[in-house]
A and B are shown apart, each in its own frame.
Chain A
């Protein structure tokens, strides 16, 4: 699936933020935006939902903690009980530190790998770089032109009021951009 888009390039985060608000007000669909750093407030301006990766982190952490507690209980009290300094076989307080470390380890790796999975990041992937400077000093806004009411000339005129550096029409191929 390919679609026609309008690329607008800005040189400052505030220009992009203001442009996003104005573009959304006009009812134009924003395909994506590409920035060299995380622009605070942009996800809100674009109406993106909060990431659900926090849940992945929580669940992985719980699996780590409970799994390790169960394993410690099984090894120390069931599989081969050993008397260590007269402590009870299943001494819960001494199981806590390792369970905590396991929780942190699983939660950390779980959330990072979940990020890689949902954002489709993997070693060796060739990046769809939208603009040669989008990782340096350019903020790129990609708008969907497929709507019949999209008037390129008037949108470009509006973007000029936000100090747009350049605009370009392009056809994006593949569904990967949305």
Chain B
């Protein structure tokens, strides 16, 4: 009987503890709480290495190229783009949707997985949230320059004006987008900052007196880890997660309505909201994987972002990829079933027309390649996951390109059929947006803890360290 009891207790302890043999540990390497603090703070406390400088200088050069390109097209006008009367949306909106989508995985990891009590998210949520913030910044640039007269962008806001007051059109999905994207940017920024406060306090308490301590004191808002503050903080964090979850679904739903509420064949479908949301999370996960596989190596965080984390994200990416694949199939079925010749033509033209290369790039990268992730050895082979993630990024960019350009280039009237070649200015702007993204991300890795220290400590249930007394008791017994 006692043996049975012992077995039950051991089993229960094993289930309760994340460090059990039933579940792989969240933090490997037998770390203590101080080790966690030291390891995560180390990259931001030592001088950047050569690799960081190379990456930073490349990103900064691309950013400067982008700034020059944006300046040129604002001064000259958007006639510098390769658009024409038939194809009125090209690189600009493709890149906008691409970047908004990248952001979505950050919110998925930080908010949705938080609500589902997925403890492994703590290793990646900080950098994924930072990624969200930077991706939405990149996305915001494109509609702004797409307006042509960027200096009048504030006309999109409903404010009393001397034109009537003529108010904005609240019935237009494009205006919904203005509110959705700005709310998303602001809430993501707040969520990220609120999550950072306890860690900023940790860095403050470690810092030697000087400028660094002053800066971190300023931004950590006098946080001292009082249990009363923690209690309220946890409540607010939960509320923000609960708000961000429907927000992330609303944002890409509204982005998809920019298309779905128009009457263009290929756009005018009810499947767009779920299809866009799944695609967004898919592309975002690919970007998180791309960044984290590099960052864990460069920043010596292999014990925190373990192959188990990569595997779980790969599984999420695989499931999203399957939803996206299903959506591609459903679109074709609905086109065939609709009996609408224009709708049928658009889809036949997508797969077999002059832009079929883009379509098949998209299908190969988003549907075929991720199927490799069904195999465990692929999911645990980081170089392979890295390559798959890059291909998914490429595929998801092409998805937006296909939806926008291939639907527009052959419209109702064959005499107005056209084709689209992006101009150098558009390509430079696109490349520049990557420059902005990576410059911000590299700076973030230097100035803030790239992993949520307090959350990792809370989730990992680290074993008690230096427990001399109990060891002595055992040896005495």
Query: Which residues from chain A sit less than 8 Å from chain B, CB to CB?
Result: 11-12, 14, 32-40, 42-43, 46, 48, 50-51, 53-54, 57, 61, 71-72, 75-76, 79-80, 82, 84-85, 87, 91, 94-95, 97-98, 100-102, 104-105, 107-109, 111-112, 114-116, 118-130, 132-137, 163
Closest to A93 in B: B171
Known: A97-B179, A129-B205. A107 touches B458 (CB 8 A): no
State the CA gap A12–B222 with chains docked (Å).
Answer: 24
Tell whether, in the assembled complex, residue A36 and residue B224 are in contact, meaning their CB atoms are under 8 Å apart. no
Tell whether, in the assembled complex, residue B232 and residue A51 are in contact, meaning their CB atoms are under 8 Å apart. yes
B220 interface residue, CB < 8 Å from A? yes
Tell whether, in the assembled complex, residue B222 and residue A35 are in contact, meaning their CB atoms are under 8 Å apart. no
Among the listed B37, B221, B239, B250, which residue makes an inter-chain contact with A136, where contact means beta carbons less than 8 Å apart?
B37
Measured CB to CB, the closest approach of chain A to B360, in angstroms, equals 35
**Residues of A with C-beta under 8 A to B326:** none
State the CA gap A118–B168 with chains docked (Å).
Answer: 37
Tell whether, in the assembled complex, residue B239 and residue A98 are in contact, meaning their CB atoms are under 8 Å apart. no
B183 interface residue, CB < 8 Å from A? yes
Known: A12-B464, A37-B198, A108-B187. A76 touches B170 (CB 8 A): yes
B44 interface residue, CB < 8 Å from A? no
Tell whether, in the assembled complex, residue B454 and residue A51 are in contact, meaning their CB atoms are under 8 Å apart. no
Could you say which of B128-136, B141-149, B159-167 contacts chain A?
A: B159-167
B371 interface residue, CB < 8 Å from A? no
State the CA gap A40–B230 with chains docked (Å).
Answer: 10
**Residues of B with C-beta under 8 A to A12:** 464
Among the listed A38, A85, A98, A120, which residue makes an inter-chain contact with B458, where contact means beta carbons less than 8 Å apart?
A38
Tell whether, in the assembled complex, residue B183 and residue A121 are in contact, meaning their CB atoms are under 8 Å apart. no
State the CA gap A76–B170 with chains docked (Å).
Answer: 7
Among the listed B167, B219, B243, B254, which residue makes an inter-chain contact with A108, where contact means beta carbons less than 8 Å apart?
B243
Measured CB to CB, the closest approach of chain A to B246, in angstroms, equals 7
Measured CB to CB, the closest approach of chain B to A97, in angstroms, equals 4
State the CA gap A114–B239 with chains docked (Å).
Answer: 12
Tell whether, in the assembled complex, residue A127 and residue B217 are in contact, meaning their CB atoms are under 8 Å apart. yes
Tell whether, in the assembled complex, residue B190 and residue A112 are in contact, meaning their CB atoms are under 8 Å apart. yes
Tell whether, in the assembled complex, residue B187 and residue A105 are in contact, meaning their CB atoms are under 8 Å apart. yes
Write out, one digit per residue, whether chain B residues 174-210 have a CB within 8 A of any chain A CB (1) or not (0). 0110011001001100110010011001101110000
Query: Which residues from chain B sit less than 8 Å from chain A, CB to CB?
Result: 32-34, 37, 158, 164-173, 175-176, 179-180, 183, 186-187, 190-191, 194, 197-198, 201-202, 204-206, 217-236, 239-240, 243-244, 246-247, 250, 254, 257, 453-455, 457-458, 464-467, 469
Closest to A121 in B: B221
Tell whether, in the assembled complex, residue A32 and residue B235 are in contact, meaning their CB atoms are under 8 Å apart. no
State the CA gap A115–B233 with chains docked (Å).
Answer: 7
**Residues of A with C-beta under 8 A to B175:** 98
Tell whether, in the assembled complex, residue B37 and residue A137 are in contact, meaning their CB atoms are under 8 Å apart. yes
Tell whether, in the assembled complex, residue A94 and residue B170 are in contact, meaning their CB atoms are under 8 Å apart. yes
Closest to A95 in B: B170
**Residues of B with C-beta under 8 A to A105:** 183, 186-187
Known: A36-B33, A80-B166, A104-B243. A98 touches B227 (CB 8 A): no
**Residues of B with C-beta under 8 A to A123:** 218-219, 221
Tell whether, in the assembled complex, residue B250 and residue A97 are in contact, meaning their CB atoms are under 8 Å apart. yes
Among the listed B164, B206, B219, B250, which residue makes an inter-chain contact with A100, where contact means beta carbons less than 8 Å apart?
B250
**Residues of A with C-beta under 8 A to B218:** 123-124
Measured CB to CB, the closest approach of chain A to B27, in angstroms, equals 13
Measured CB to CB, the closest approach of chain B to A173, in angstroms, equals 15
**Residues of B with C-beta under 8 A to A132:** 205
Tell whether, in the assembled complex, residue B232 and residue A134 are in contact, meaning their CB atoms are under 8 Å apart. no
Tell whether, in the assembled complex, residue B171 and residue A87 are in contact, meaning their CB atoms are under 8 Å apart. yes
A-B contact pairs, 25 of them (CB 8 A): A33-B227, A34-B225, A35-B227, A36-B37, A36-B225, A37-B457, A38-B230, A48-B227, A54-B239, A61-B243, A75-B168, A75-B170, A80-B164, A84-B169, A97-B179, A100-B250, A104-B246, A111-B236, A112-B194, A119-B232, A121-B229, A122-B222, A123-B218, A130-B224, A137-B33
State the CA gap A57–B187 with chains docked (Å).
Answer: 13
Measured CB to CB, the closest approach of chain B to A45, in angstroms, equals 9
State the CA gap A129–B376 with chains docked (Å).
Answer: 47
Among the listed A37, A111, A136, which residue makes an inter-chain contact with B455, where contact means beta carbons less than 8 Å apart?
A37
State the CA gap A116–B219 with chains docked (Å).
Answer: 12
Tell whether, in the assembled complex, residue B221 and residue A122 are in contact, meaning their CB atoms are under 8 Å apart. yes
State the CA gap A36–B194 with chains docked (Å).
Answer: 15
Tell whether, in the assembled complex, residue B224 and residue A129 are in contact, meaning their CB atoms are under 8 Å apart. yes
Known: A32-B226, A109-B190, A111-B236. A98 touches B202 (CB 8 A): no
**Residues of A with C-beta under 8 A to B191:** 108
Tell whether, in the assembled complex, residue B169 and residue A35 are in contact, meaning their CB atoms are under 8 Å apart. no
**Residues of A with C-beta under 8 A to B170:** 72, 75-76, 94-95, 98
Measured CB to CB, the closest approach of chain A to B366, in angstroms, equals 28
Measured CB to CB, the closest approach of chain A to B319, in angstroms, equals 26
Measured CB to CB, the closest approach of chain A to B88, in angstroms, equals 19
**Residues of B with C-beta under 8 A to A101:** 176, 179-180, 183, 247, 250
10 shortest interchain CB distances as A-B pairs: A125-B222, A137-B33, A75-B167, A121-B221, A51-B235, A37-B458, A37-B454, A97-B176, A101-B179, A33-B227
Closest to B226 in A: A32
Closest to B465 in A: A11
Tell whether, in the assembled complex, residue A40 and residue B458 are in contact, meaning their CB atoms are under 8 Å apart. yes
Closest to A35 in B: B225
**Residues of A with C-beta under 8 A to B190:** 108-109, 112
**Residues of B with C-beta under 8 A to A57:** 236, 239, 243
**Residues of B with C-beta under 8 A to A14:** 464
**Residues of B with C-beta under 8 A to A48:** 227-228, 231
Closest to B257 in A: A97
Tell whether, in the assembled complex, residue A111 and residue B239 are in contact, meaning their CB atoms are under 8 Å apart. yes
State the CA gap A168–B475 with chains docked (Å).
Answer: 31
**Residues of B with C-beta under 8 A to A84:** 169, 171-172
**Residues of A with C-beta under 8 A to B465:** 11
**Residues of B with C-beta under 8 A to A97:** 173, 176, 179-180, 250, 254, 257
Measured CB to CB, the closest approach of chain A to B394, in angstroms, equals 31
